[in-house]
Structure 1
């Protein structure tokens, strides 16, 4: 192919071919993903000027926009630049400039077609929506969406109005309010994508056809747009606020509510919504919520840099088919590992297999995918999978002598280099490793319940462990899509150590006659995802008592806590604890009205924050930053506060 009008910049390459089709490729110089940095946008302004000139002189019949990176199209704006744009005047100028650029792209007299593979998120999707036609690869790697709400903002490059134009107000607002990432097929169904192809190498051919045939995307139909008409829009907006309120309070996460306000003003006119976007967006960027959520984002990204390069895992053996062990095994199978699950007999393993099938059925769209996942997970009462496993995880009852007996029988059966790990929630590794010939081989991989939802794995390091052993543990956590935080072997490690004073303090209040519903509501008002009593029921009262005892907290005989355990009322898993549970949800009584819920919530959370400071001072984690991200991921601690250490430093906890 002979290239004409060739232009190379740090972020883009452009040329035209013999058919006068322009080929524009983004290739951000830093990192594995493309981002729309301010430099990239400035370069694109110049290139668009070139397109306009070539089109007016008849030298350009259209442009196909592609990505030069394997990871995907464009992952969004460059988040690392956000702090430098917290000044309202700087941000307003940058947004105004980008809006004008995207409007020019939309007004090009020749078709511009976006070819999407992999990640197409945030500002990347906004750029694609400014193009005239969108083609996406229909495979598992393609993800399309607006995750900005997770950073305390909403789309700011015109995506609010353009997504409503394409998908209709209800679907578009739902995508923006939830931050949900869509598969290619779902995006096509919502009219965010116009054409699907099977492979990335088909994007060029389909892009060429789209240009030559002057294809243009159609807008959402009248029926979809009707809910934005003035007579119904206020009711629709109020329903959206009600739904948003079930997930987040306005004072904690203002972005969804600001977006709904913008929709209520301009939802029937997508261009007016785009024009109103900047004024609504700017105050959010510099807010404490957005600032802290950006911090949490960078902390979570930093966890991905841990681990050993080149470490690979394909086979996992889990010992213990209870709730934790069974769910760890199911998650590993879901993430593509071959898993053997061991317990005393099939009667104990079968419930875990049944739960695994429910997980796969919920996560996968196709029956054959569910069947394939079930084939990756096999019952192994005899433990034959030990010899072949790359990773062995023990997840039995939290009793030292039981764990020691299991590991003492494993050493000679394992292959060299395999990870030997315990899922202990509180026992120091040095004590478990006493029975081993090589205590340096045992590490901790502490998962959290429910395994499929909570992203954290504590990688526990004993005084015997090498950097290589801990690096392999962190690499395995990443291989199954979890976020590893390395913690020192100490009673309770990080998360349980800080959680126990918080939960037991609330239980003591209940013992004194305070309302469990009020206490839980107060914690939620502070910003916790659920209250401490509901959390104790979720963890399991027996597990809570075991961890409390290990950490030196007594559970008094004759207390309600002890009585419930004695009666087998262990919380969610048994159907009753402090609450009765129906269909996986706590049945709660009326919560009395109180004006001081947030203040009470802060009192309830104080022991957690205090203990986090102690844990950091003892060196259980390497830094306050790691403590913050670990406690957020392991407990759901209010992310808009930046973590317990940041909240204490800011005077907010």
Structure 2
């Protein structure tokens, strides 16, 4: 009877092999949260389960959309209550102890962002399986709220991967720094990564084989010596400040975590749990946390699933460049059939090589998994896959005439219900749609740079766009775990308008004699993830020039002569080997140290002001009518300092 009881916070499904599959209901959010009532019910269930004849236990987190049980959205304000936070910390540790001491073989499936503290439960099971599309921030999401993980998360991470790797990865994740997705699987936080649609099949295989827990090597064993703890925390603090440009003023959480670990190590106990709870309560009351939580709530509004989920079965991409490869790789991991079209066979083969390299890293060099994923991609030189695609995304055409010509052909040969989408962020949609018999079929879908890891996708439309088709496209993006932001159609979309103004300001400062490394370092110190000139190199100076010229015609933006000259002389950035920096074998060469005696503070003001001012202009122009959406769009689409609450809040308090 215990296996089929109706629970309030759990959904329990036994199978024919005497295994139970348990969904743990969390408060939905970005990220979600666990409730004391949920943890209490899970604890009592695990205790009672040991009296049953059970051959395996499978756990996963679920939201209110996945179950019949209603539950309120996440309330982040509760973390300011030390008693509530301590209760969560204590209950989480109790469940970790139960899972580790249970004779029942347990598996945890991670197919979504974990709730705050939830990674401790996943790492406590015998085997943890995750979707290959996960990023580090999905497993350690506390940074999005200005918090640090629970002590049980730290202890379990150290047991799995060793002290230094655990703390280095988690503290970096707490700053919002983009880490390679493969870190989760390569380091051992998660035992195995598989494509999203293969998670159930992989779990059955694990339950049948029951592999043992991986033992940490001597070099990865927990380091509890007080002097070693001091050395490690000092080293990691320097790395945060010097290498990642993370200041304690902007990001207090990782520094607070290191201080706690230096004092208590990995020891469990009342003193350490109380200290962690008090630290979390202090952090939750800071201005940075309030701004981050505001962004998290707006993000949740954008990503909320609809009651009409849409699955993308076949995506046809016309293009073979870097952006194409990143979008294709991401969609393959989500279980989408992808076809790439380019009339040049050599270009398609190069693109396939780039995609293979990306997926090989994500699968930790597992040839079988890589080949299985690549079996779902088709190379197409003649457009034969157009007629079967659910969505057709045009990337390769960069000018209005070529966009009009291609979409006129696509309209004729595609399915009537297929979504026709341009990836261009600078060509007005109305002008492209003018060449179509049914202009209502066309929308803009722009994956923000870098396309694989940036969560935001800008969706633009015209007055003629079919509303049902627009809703369908947004629902598809949500099912792909992307966040769609609906924009009114204006020249240049939000992310590119803001980023290009930022880049142009950096180039103008460089023209005035400020060294490029000084400009970029100042921007990172101010809270930007990348400096404007290194970002220009990565995006491609030719692309930056195209966007800038569009903005010059429509928004009176001044294009620096240095940008024009560099493009004319073939200095396009990373892809050409030379831009503001030099590159060899796809890696940036270390630039020479340069000195500058000007005001860094004035430099930072110029760099941040151009972003906040352009965001304000976007609001005035009607690109978006809600200042909150401008804030979350710029933060998610460009990486603008999340702790500030977004550019409009940073500038005007919106």
- Using the size of structure 1 for normalisation, the TM-score is 0.81
The Cα RMSD (Å) is: 4.4
Distance 1:199 1:99 in 2: 31
Q: CA deviation at 1:11?
A: 2.7
Q: CA deviation at 1:78?
A: 9.0
**Which residue number in structure 2 is paired with residue 559 of structure 1?**
561
Inter-CA distance 184–364: structure 2 relative to 1 (3 Å threshold): closer
Q: CA deviation at 1:60?
A: 10
Look up the SS of the partner of 1:492 in the other structure: coil
Distance 1:241 1:34 in 2: 28
**Which residue number in structure 1 is paired with residue 261 of structure 2?**
263
Distance 1:322 1:610 in 2: 32
**Which residue number in structure 1 is paired with residue 545 of structure 2?**
545
- Which of 166, 169, 183 aligns to 2:163? It is 169
Larger Rg, first or second structure (1 or 2): 1
Inter-CA distance 348–515: structure 2 relative to 1 (3 Å threshold): same
Distance 1:523 1:349 in 2: 37
The equivalences for 1:447-486 within 5 A come to 447-486=447-486
> Which ranges in structure 2 are unaligned for 5 or more consecutive residues?
13-17, 174-180, 193-198
**Which residue number in structure 1 is paired with residue 416 of structure 2?**
416
Q: CA deviation at 1:589?
A: 3.4
Distance 1:13 1:354 in 2: 43
The equivalences for 1:90-129 within 5 A come to 91-101=81-91, 112=102, 115-119=106-110, 122-126=116-120
Do the aligned residues in 2 keep the contact of 1:400 with 1:432 (CA within 8 Å)? yes
**Which residue number in structure 2 is paired with residue 193 of structure 1?**
none
More off after superposition, 371-380 vs 482-491: 371-380
Q: CA deviation at 1:491?
A: 0.3
Distance 2:107 2:300 in 1: 24
Inter-CA distance 224–139: structure 2 relative to 1 (3 Å threshold): closer
The equivalences for 1:286-297 within 5 A come to 286-297=285-296
Inter-CA distance 342–84: structure 2 relative to 1 (3 Å threshold): same
Q: What do the CA deviations read for 1:471-490 (whole angstroms, capped 9, x no partner)? A: 12213323443221111110
Do the aligned residues in 2 keep the contact of 1:307 with 1:471 (CA within 8 Å)? no
Look up the SS of the partner of 1:10 in the other structure: coil
Look up the SS of the partner of 2:339 in the other structure: strand
Distance 1:314 1:67 in 2: 27
Inter-CA distance 229–110: structure 2 relative to 1 (3 Å threshold): closer
**Which residue number in structure 1 is paired with residue 384 of structure 2?**
384
Q: What do the CA deviations read for 1:295-328 (whole angstroms, capped 9, x no partner)? A: 2223222222266824232222222223333443
**Which residue number in structure 2 is paired with residue 244 of structure 1?**
240
Look up the SS of the partner of 2:575 in the other structure: helix
The equivalences for 1:4-43 within 5 A come to 10-11=8-9, 28=25, 35-41=33-39
Distance 1:202 1:368 in 2: 15
Q: CA deviation at 1:67?
A: 4.8
The equivalences for 1:34-53 within 5 A come to 35-41=33-39, 47=44
Is residue 160 from structure 1 mapped to residue 160 from structure 2 by the alignment? Answer: no
Q: CA deviation at 1:364?
A: 2.0
Q: CA deviation at 1:517?
A: 2.0
Look up the SS of the partner of 1:313 in the other structure: coil
Q: CA deviation at 1:172?
A: 3.7
Higher-RCO chain (CA-CA 8 Å, sequence separation at least 6) = 2
The equivalences for 1:344-423 within 5 A come to 344-365=343-364, 366-423=366-423
Look up the SS of the partner of 2:412 in the other structure: coil
Inter-CA distance 412–128: structure 2 relative to 1 (3 Å threshold): closer
**Which residue number in structure 1 is paired with residue 195 of structure 2?**
none
Distance 1:358 1:110 in 2: 37
Inter-CA distance 265–330: structure 2 relative to 1 (3 Å threshold): closer
**Which residue number in structure 2 is paired with residue 521 of structure 1?**
521
Do the aligned residues in 2 keep the contact of 1:308 with 1:475 (CA within 8 Å)? no
Distance 2:201 2:415 in 1: 40
> Which ranges in structure 1 are unaligned for 5 or more consecutive residues?
15-20, 191-195
Inter-CA distance 405–241: structure 2 relative to 1 (3 Å threshold): same
Q: What do the CA deviations read for 1:244-279 (whole angstroms, capped 9, x no partner)? A: 333333222111111111122222644464453233
Look up the SS of the partner of 2:411 in the other structure: coil
Distance 1:326 1:12 in 2: 40
More off after superposition, 370-379 vs 536-545: 370-379
Do the aligned residues in 1 keep the contact of 2:458 with 2:487 (CA within 8 Å)? yes
Inter-CA distance 308–419: structure 2 relative to 1 (3 Å threshold): farther
More off after superposition, 326-335 vs 635-644: 326-335
Do the aligned residues in 2 keep the contact of 1:162 with 1:270 (CA within 8 Å)? no
Do the aligned residues in 1 keep the contact of 2:316 with 2:338 (CA within 8 Å)? yes
Distance 1:434 1:80 in 2: 45
The equivalences for 1:299-310 within 5 A come to 299-305=298-304, 309-310=308-309
Look up the SS of the partner of 1:521 in the other structure: helix
Inter-CA distance 95–456: structure 2 relative to 1 (3 Å threshold): closer
Do the aligned residues in 2 keep the contact of 1:628 with 1:644 (CA within 8 Å)? yes
- Which of 624, 628, 643 aligns to 2:627? It is 624
Distance 2:227 2:481 in 1: 46
Q: What do the CA deviations read for 1:436-474 (whole angstroms, capped 9, x no partner)? A: 111111111112333223222211111210211211221
**Which residue number in structure 2 is paired with residue 569 of structure 1?**
571
Q: What do the CA deviations read for 1:515-556 (whole angstroms, capped 9, x no partner)? A: 222222221111111111222222222111111111126798
**Which residue number in structure 1 is paired with residue 444 of structure 2?**
444
Do the aligned residues in 2 keep the contact of 1:35 with 1:78 (CA within 8 Å)? no
